[in-house]
Structure 1
């Protein structure tokens, strides 16, 4: 668990965080290059859903950092035991919140993708 949570935090730092910055910037550039008006309803809906995903993602970052730290502490305390009994109950609470926040974020980004491709009226 300690190794996996460490890699999850790294993936969010190395992949997701840069995408959070690059995606809207590149999208605004493509909107401008394609001649789409900023007032297009599909664009405002996309931006709203992107903001929702971001609002879910920020607490997930904090949760991941805490879960990583708890998993490292449990691993150090157990000295190689194979069960997860050493993880604090708070770890599992954070994991449930992490998953719950992931559903609206991922679903919202799927809809954003569909809106960007189909550009409905």
Structure 2
């Protein structure tokens, strides 16, 4: 496959990955802050779907296209910018895996509370804090990866 096609796929999938993450976080955060249980239930259902549809697929596409571009361009894997990108990608992935579980649990708690016309239980807010705490390093890891991909510092 041509380098520019692979690069386009890489950039496109990174846009879906990062964009879905930012969008999901934005809506989940502000739905939760509203404390409107029905809104939280609806938003969290769509956040989980978006995560599986976009994030899960692009989290595979990113290293696949990235390694293929490295191969096509002849960059050594030992390049510092590549090594740091991989480490940061690992950090983001390590944060994302528990976030997926947290989002599903938050969705379930919100749907249950909405279905019974109750407030969210205290465990929702405990899990929500963990969701935020894991999202922060993932966000900054991806911002740093974008910088490394563009600048390719030596």
For residue 86 of structure 1, report the CA deviation from its aligned partner.
1.0
- Name which structure has the greater RCO, CA cutoff 8 Å, separation 6+: 1
* Residues 1:58 and 2:127 aligned together: no
Matches within 5 A, 1:1-121: 1-78=40-117, 86-121=119-154
CA distance in 2, matches of 1:33, 1:119: 16
Give structure 1 regions of 4+ aligned residues with deviation exceeding 4 angstroms: none
Structure 1 unaligned spans of 5+: 79-84
CA distance in 1, matches of 2:70, 2:139: 23
For residue 56 of structure 1, report the CA deviation from its aligned partner.
0.5
Task: Give 1:81's aligned residue.
Answer: none
Q: State TM-score, norm by structure 2.
A: 0.73
Q: State TM-score, norm by structure 1.
A: 0.92
Deviations 1:72-115 (A, max 9, x none): 1001100xxxxxx6101111111111011101001001101111
Structure 2 unaligned spans of 5+: 1-39
Q: Give the root-mean-square deviation of aligned CA atoms.
A: 0.8
